[in-house]
Amino acid sequence: MLKLKISQSQYKARRTRLLQQLPSDSVVVLPAATHLHRNADAEYPFRQNSDFYYLTGFNEPDGLLLLLPGRPEGEYILICQPRDPAMEVWTGYRAGPEGCCEVYGADQAFVLGEADEKLPELLDGRRSLYYPMGQSTAFDQRVQAWLATLRKRVRQGCEPPEALLQIDSLLHEMRLIKDDEEVAVMSAAADISAAAHVKAMQQCRPGMMEYMLEACIMHHCAMQGARFQAYSPIVGGGENGCILHYIENSAPLCDGDLVLIDAGCELDCYASDITRTFPVNGRFNEQQRALYELVLDTQLQCIEAIRPGVPWNDIHDLSVRVITAGLIRLGLLSGDLDELIASEAYRPFYMHRSGHWLGMDVHDVGSYKQQGEWRPLEPGMVLTVEPGIYVAPDNEAVEPHWRGIGIRIEDDVLVTPEGHTVLTAAAPKSVEAIERLMREAQ
């Protein structure tokens, strides 16, 4: 079983790095996630807030993290659920304030019941307050209530913060550049997901249902210790592959169709994100193969272009150029390449971006532009490269044999000082490799 986790020393190093960037008279407050109700007495599985987890590794709901640079009694405070043996029988072990200090390295810890008393005291005298503004109305209102309490106490000498600041840019800039431990966890998640895609290719047969391949993927990941997927798996057979976020996964897989699987597990709150498209019966037909080779050629060229210094959008622009040229060559578009790119004639076939940042969130945080310019890639960034071609079943502008084919190929790519590493390379993607794998599994 895989037990790969970010170490507590790494969490500490992150807090130190953030504290060093904060003004000395500031305070940061971050909320943990809360349990989400599903129906009746059932809840969704708990998933910690990514920002909160990034700085703590603490996986309990409803707490608060405070960072107070230079505070003599301690700079790192956790507010947590109280120990409660009667409740813990039902919902499991809680660290409590003692555990927060001993295990999670907090300088001080308080229980949630004390939060509304402690917070105004802790904010008092701090000039600027950083928090995730506008993420949750409930949290925004709690912050306002703490500030209102402080304002009522100004005649007693209290000094409420004067500046309310968004924490996102500081924290998300840190999250965008992955450290070695993050790369190790993301590589492990990528390996598990790649092997899951191999299993799905091996088990696929005409007549199976889309949800059976979903189950195959989820089973493999869970058996490796990755119980949760980073997002709802997409398994689209035939024309369902043209629906970008198809998660119904309820149709039969038909002989002669392709199936598109976009699925990736999460490990210690880090995502993987892989798409593979392959023939249900193990053999591409002529049109499927032609479009597939075009998407693959696009994806390989885009990956090849990844290295430090290349502006983010160059990768997308390259994908547009290669796809548009290929669609002209195959007769799905006609006209001058530059004019077709300028008029976005490719958009009925390729309507999404070439990728996104990847990290704790599948569409991860971090800006794509800086001062109005697409930012250059830097070592430690992880991005997906996922071009696709989707020919709508009702696209009457193309010959009928192209219609209803949906193809996307997606890998997770780490930017390195020398260029890049494909974290998800273990999932085969050449026509030959896929056909061989599926033939040998018959």
CB 125 within 8 A of CB 156: no
- Which one is catalytic: 168, 356, 361, 364? 356
Task: Write down the least CB distance from residue 296 to ligand GLY, Å.
Answer: 17
Of 252, 246, 249, 275, give the one whose Cα is nearest residue 262: 275
Task: Write down the least CB distance from residue 276 to ligand GLY, Å.
Answer: 12
Does 124 contact ligand GLY by CB under 6 A?
Answer: no
Does 214 contact Mn ion by CB under 5 A?
Answer: no
Task: Write down the least CB distance from residue 249 to ligand GLY, Å.
Answer: 14
Catalytic residue check, 175? no
In the beta sheet, which residues pair with residue 264?
A: none
Does 214 contact ligand GLY by CB under 6 A?
Answer: no
Does 386 contact ligand GLY by CB under 6 A?
Answer: yes
Task: Write down the least CB distance from residue 124 to ligand GLY, Å.
Answer: 44
State how far the Cα of 364 lies from the Cα of 387, in Å rounded to an integer.
Answer: 18
In the beta sheet, which residues pair with residue 165?
A: 130
Catalytic residue check, 386? yes
Catalytic residue check, 268? no
Does 361 contact Mn ion by CB under 5 A?
Answer: no
In the beta sheet, which residues pair with residue 129?
A: 27, 164
Catalytic residue check, 245? yes
Does 273 contact ligand GLY by CB under 6 A?
Answer: yes
Q: Which two tokens stand for residue 281?
A: 């019966």
Does 412 contact ligand GLY by CB under 6 A?
Answer: no
Q: How many residues bind ligand GLY (CB under 6 A)?
A: 7
Does 231 contact ligand GLY by CB under 6 A?
Answer: yes
Q: Cα 269 to the chain's mean position, in Å?
A: 9
Does 193 contact Mn ion by CB under 5 A?
Answer: no
> Which of 191, 364 has the CB closer to ligand GLY?
364
Among 60, 181, 257, 262, binds Mn ion (CB under 5 A): 262
Does 239 contact ligand GLY by CB under 6 A?
Answer: no
Catalytic residue check, 363? yes
CB 164 within 8 A of CB 129: yes
Task: Write down the least CB distance from residue 275 to Mn ion, Å.
Answer: 5
Binding pattern to Mn ion, positions 388-427, x when CB under 5 A? Answer: ----------------------x-----------------
3-state DSSP assignment of residue 271: strand
Does 246 contact ligand GLY by CB under 6 A?
Answer: no
Does 365 contact ligand GLY by CB under 6 A?
Answer: no
Q: CB-based contacts of 398: which residues, under 8 Å, 6+ apart?
A: 331, 332, 391
Q: Which of ligand GLY, Mn ion, none does residue 231 bind (CB under 5 to 8 Å by kind)?
A: ligand GLY
Task: Write down the least CB distance from residue 362 to ligand GLY, Å.
Answer: 6
Does 273 contact Mn ion by CB under 5 A?
Answer: yes
**Which span sits near Mn ion by CB under 5 A: 55-63, 91-99, 173-181, 271-279?**
271-279
Catalytic residue check, 356? yes
SS3 content of the chain, % helix, strand, coil (to 5): 40, 20, 40
Of 197, 180, 167, give the one whose Cα is nearest residue 19: 167
What does the CA dihedral 287, 288, 293, 295 come to, rounded to 10 degrees?
110
> Which of 167, 260 has the CB closer to Mn ion?
260
Catalytic residue check, 316? no
Query: CA distances (Å), 180 to each of 5, 224, 265, 374, in order?
Result: 12, 22, 20, 25
State how far the Cα of 186 lies from the Cα of 178, in Å rounded to an integer.
Answer: 9
CB 277 within 8 A of CB 387: no
Q: Kindly tell me the sign of the dihedral angle through the C-alpha atoms of 248, 252, 253, 258.
A: negative
Among 60, 124, 182, 262, binds ligand GLY (CB under 6 A): 262
Among 217, 235, 362, 391, binds ligand GLY (CB under 6 A): 362
Q: Which two tokens stand for residue 12?
A: 């500490």
State how far the Cα of 151 lies from the Cα of 402, in Å rounded to an integer.
Answer: 67
Query: CA distances (Å), 412 to each of 191, 358, 425, in order?
Result: 11, 8, 8
Supply the residues annotated as catalytic: 41, 245, 262, 273, 352, 356, 363, 386, 390, 408, 410
Residues that bind Mn ion (CB under 5 A): 262, 273, 384, 410
